Structure 1
Amino acid sequence: MFVYFEKSGHGCHSGMHHGMHRGWGRHARHWGGRDSRGEGRRRRMFDGGELRLVLLKLIADEPRHGYDLIRQIEAMTGGAYAPSPGVVYPTITLLDDMGLIEARQSEGAKKLFAVTEAGTAELDANAELVATLIARLTALGEDRQKTDSSSIRRAMGNLREVLMNRLREGDVDADMLHRVVALIDETAQKIERLSPR
Structure 2
Amino acid sequence: MSPVFSHGDLRLYLLNLLDEGPRHGYDIMQALADRTGGTYTPSAGTIYPRLAKLEEEGLVTKSVDGRKTVYAITDAGRAEVASRAHELEGIEAGLADSVRLIADEVRGSVREAMRSLRADLAAAGRDQQTQETPSARDDDPRSRSREQVSRADAAVNEFRARVRSDLRAHVARGGDLAADVVDDLAAQLDRIARDISRTLRG
The TM-score, its normalising length taken from structure 2, stands at: 0.52
Larger Rg: 2
Deviation at 1:116, TM superposition (A): 0.2
Matched, 1:49 2:11: no
Q: 1:154 to 1:117 in 2, by over 3 A?
A: same
Distance in 1 (CA, whole Å) between partners of 2:22 and 2:50 is 16
Deviation at 1:94, TM superposition (A): 0.6
Matched, 1:64 2:20: no
Residue in 2 that maps onto 1:140: 98
The runs of 5 or more residues in structure 1 that have no matched partner are 6-44, 165-170, 172-197
Q: 1:91 to 1:163 in 2, by over 3 A?
A: farther
Residue in 2 that maps onto 1:131: 89
Distance in 2 (CA, whole Å) between partners of 1:117 and 1:88 is 21
**Conserved? CA contact 2:39–2:98, under 8 Å:** yes
**% identical equivalent positions:** 31
For 2:5, what is the secondary structure of its paired residue? coil
Q: 1:145 to 1:105 in 2, by over 3 A?
A: farther
**Conserved? CA contact 1:77–1:139, under 8 Å:** no
The runs of 5 or more residues in structure 2 that have no matched partner are 121-126, 128-202
1:117 to 75, 88, 93: 75
The residue identity in structure 1 corresponding to 2:75 is: E
5 Å matches for 1:42-191? Answer: 45-104=4-63, 106=65, 108-149=66-107, 153-157=109-113, 159=115
Deviation at 1:105, TM superposition (A): 5.0
Deviation at 1:159, TM superposition (A): 4.3
Which structure features the higher share of helix residues? 2
Deviation at 1:146, TM superposition (A): 4.3
Deviation sequence 1:41-78 (CA, Å, 0-9, x none): xxxx1124110000010011011122111111111122
Deviation sequence 1:150-178 (CA, Å, 0-9, x none): xx6445245458879xxxxxx9xxxxxxx
The residue identity in structure 2 corresponding to 1:117 is: D
For 1:112, what is the secondary structure of its paired residue? strand
RMSD: 2.9
Residue in 1 that maps onto 2:2: 4
Distance in 1 (CA, whole Å) between partners of 2:61 and 2:48 is 14
